[in-house]
Amino acid sequence: MSDGRKIIHVDMDAFFAAVEQRNNPELKGKPVVVGGRPDSRGVVSTCSYEARVFGIHSAMPTSEAYRRCPHAIFLSHGNFEEYRKVSKQIREIFHEVTNLVEPLSLDEAYLDVTENKLNEASATRLAEWIRRRILEVTSLTASAGVSYNKSLAKIASDWDKPDGLTVITPDMAESFLTDLPVNKFWGVGPVTAGKMKEAGIHTGGDLRTWPLWKLTEAFGKSGPWYYNLCRGVDNRRVEPTRIRKSLGKERTFGEDVDNLPELSDFLENLCETVWEELKEKQLDGRTLTVKVKYADFQQVTRSRSFYSPLPNLTSFTDTALELLGESEAGSRPVRLVGVSVSSFIGEERPGEAHQLLLDFGNSSIPEQRTNTPKYA
């Protein structure tokens, strides 16, 4: 089950909101929502734990967040310059430990600490040290998960938020996953979790009773992933230079748009912005995707792939408009339209990191005062 890797997943606690509360003492202890205005069509980017008590969460429409907590403090324009500054400080702390750092966003990353700059044998001690350093440098808390692969480390970091540390060792993984609800598995979203529950799959133990062929039949290409996941198998490496999957832009409208020419104008502007960024970053992609979200929040995508990249902005825009025409835009009200490019040419996977035997004990770092992990 384990190939000897030691992986840490670090996730900052309510990062954007926490930075705002740190910089403005008047916000401490109050429900803070970072995202669009309550009267806008935007969505919540993140919110403080005080706001989460009211059921507010990321990606929720800000109008719904306001309905649930009208006395919350809504910050429609977060201070992204400050967020990036703090993120850089955190990234530097990670690199004090290892160069095998895979950022997922401004506020979370995977670290492969199998070999590390501190010559520390205990991944648990390293996670404690990282969390303490982050608190010392930024005055912000982070949660961490420690395990032998990325999926389990991610599950572990979510287990004891905020300001928590959870460790899943190889010998406890099977029992841990047996009782774990399927919606807690990394990569199982609400729709899939609902489908699993309809099929009688409520926990990892239930999932483990399904043979590979049956999972593939029910869940398509994700079947093998779920088959391995419930058995604690995830062979993905920590990738310091992550391959860019796509590049795109989207626009959420203040009011629903049901006029196709108007939507086409918006899409043309987005195409121009994306094309300029592609040229600036010297990226050539072979797949073009248009996303449409209707007023009822139903979302559809239309894609087209080519043997070689589109040669110019005109071809790029014309293709995007054709894809828009394949949707129901114009006959159904639309709240969002977007365009993205993927399948980039010349992107190769980085080399795999050298592996050592896993050791969760025998620390060479002095004892520190930290939260007691649920599993250690």
Question: Residue 94: which residues within 8 A CB-CB, separation 6 or more?
Answer: 10, 101, 109, 111, 130
Q: Does the pLDDT value for residue 365 go beyond 50?
A: no
Q: Does the pLDDT value for residue 309 go beyond 80?
A: no
Question: What is the C-alpha to C-alpha distance for residues 253 and 336, in angstroms, rounded to an integer?
Answer: 6
Domains of the chain, first to last: 7-11+89-132+141-173 (3.30.70.270), 15-80 (3.40.1170.60), 174-229 (1.10.150.20), 246-344 (3.30.1490.100)
Question: What is the C-alpha to C-alpha distance for residues 321 and 339, in angstroms, rounded to an integer?
Answer: 10
Question: What is the C-alpha to C-alpha distance for residues 60 and 48, in angstroms, rounded to an integer?
Answer: 14
Instruction: Find out whether the peptide bond into 162 is cis, omega within 30 degrees of 0.
Output: yes
Strands 165-167 and 142-147: parallel
Note the pLDDT of residue 45.
81
pLDDT in tens, 130-179: 999 999 999 999 999 999 999 999 999 999 999 999 999 999 999 999 99
Note the pLDDT of residue 242.
64
Question: What is the C-alpha to C-alpha distance for residues 362 and 376, in angstroms, rounded to an integer?
Answer: 13
Question: What is the C-alpha to C-alpha distance for residues 205 and 186, in angstroms, rounded to an integer?
Answer: 15
The reported pTM is 0.71
pLDDT above 90 covers what percent of the chain? 61
Contact 225, 198 (CB under 8 A): no
CB atoms within 10 A of CB 278: 20
* Annotation says 108 is catalytic: yes
Question: Residue 276: which residues within 8 A CB-CB, separation 6 or more?
Answer: none
Question: What is the C-alpha to C-alpha distance for residues 211 and 333, in angstroms, rounded to an integer?
Answer: 43
| Catalytic residue (one of 108, 120, 128, 239) | 108
In three-state secondary structure terms, 273 is helix
pLDDT in tens, 198-257: 999 999 999 999 999 999 999 888 899 999 999 999 999 998 876 667 889 998 887 889
Question: What is the C-alpha to C-alpha distance for residues 286 and 306, in angstroms, rounded to an integer?
Answer: 5
DSSP string, 120-176: -S-HHHHHHHHHHHHHHHHS--EEEEEESSHHHHHHHHHHT-SS-EEE--HHHHHHH
Angle at which helices 313-325 and 260-280 cross, to 10°: 140
Q: Does the pLDDT value for residue 307 go beyond 60?
A: yes
Q: Does the pLDDT value for residue 371 go beyond 80?
A: no
Question: What is the C-alpha to C-alpha distance for residues 222 and 245, in angstroms, rounded to an integer?
Answer: 18
Strand ranges inside the chain, DSSP E: 7-12, 32-35, 44-47, 73-75, 101-105, 108-112, 142-147, 165-167, 246-257, 285-294, 299-305, 334-344
Question: Residue 245: which residues within 8 A CB-CB, separation 6 or more?
Answer: 342
Mean pLDDT of 1-6: 76
Please state the separation of Cα 240 from the chain's center in Å: 16
pLDDT in tens, 37-94: 787 667 788 999 999 999 998 878 888 999 999 999 999 877 888 998 999 999 999 9
Q: Phi and psi at residue 306, in whole multiples of 5°? A: -130, 155
Residue at 166: amino acid letter: T
Question: Residue 260: which residues within 8 A CB-CB, separation 6 or more?
Answer: 324, 325, 329, 330
pLDDT above 70 covers what percent of the chain? 89
